[in-house]
Amino acid sequence: MSTTTPADEPARQKPRKNTSKLRDGVMKRGKSWSYVIRVPDPATGASKPKWVGGFDTEEAAKAARDEARIRARRGEYVNRSISTVADYLAEWLETHAATVKPKTLAGYRHDIDHYIVPRIGRMRLQALRPAVISKLYRDLAEHGGRDGQPLSAWTISHIHRTLRKALADAV
């Protein structure tokens, strides 16, 4: 019989005290829940993991995960972005500068610089909702002009056309 001493035994590692386990692509991280899905990179075609967090419950994370999986299979998955409305609109103007007439571009730029960006420009683009846009139009109608005067319905309609065109191109 051979006797072994503690020095001869391989060092045993203590089990980690990680109570959060990845279950079916969902995991608790801190106080919120996250999910992970694999999404093909459009540039390389390689599948990469994408983590999305901030859900209050496990059920909410699972529902969002399921929706993201469906979108990923269809090729419609949109990575959450920190891009703001102002960032996107600046990029949109730059890309459209060569495709529209100078006067049209000047109108777009005026609407964006004077009415849209000052009110919703700091918002994340993906946080933009119809209710926010409706509130923008209502605020412009009530006191969007010079010295807090109301804007005309024609001007608001023009701003709407500019924003609708930019957001349609985003989709």
Phi, psi (degrees; rounded to nearest 5) at 28: -85, 130
- How many angstroms separate the Cα of 138 from the Cα of each of 6, 118, 155? 77, 15, 12
CA distance 35 to 95: 34
Closest CA to 79 of 48, 109, 104: 48
What would the pLDDT profile of 29-59 be if each residue is shown by its tens digit?
888 888 888 877 666 777 778 888 888 999 9
* Contacts with 51 (C-beta within 8 Å, 6 or more apart), sequence order: 34, 35, 36
pTM to 2 decimal places: 0.57
What would the pLDDT profile of 119-147 be if each residue is shown by its tens digit?
999 998 888 889 999 999 999 999 998 88
Q: What is the CATH number of domain 85-170?
A: 1.10.150
Domain locations along the chain: 26-74, 85-170
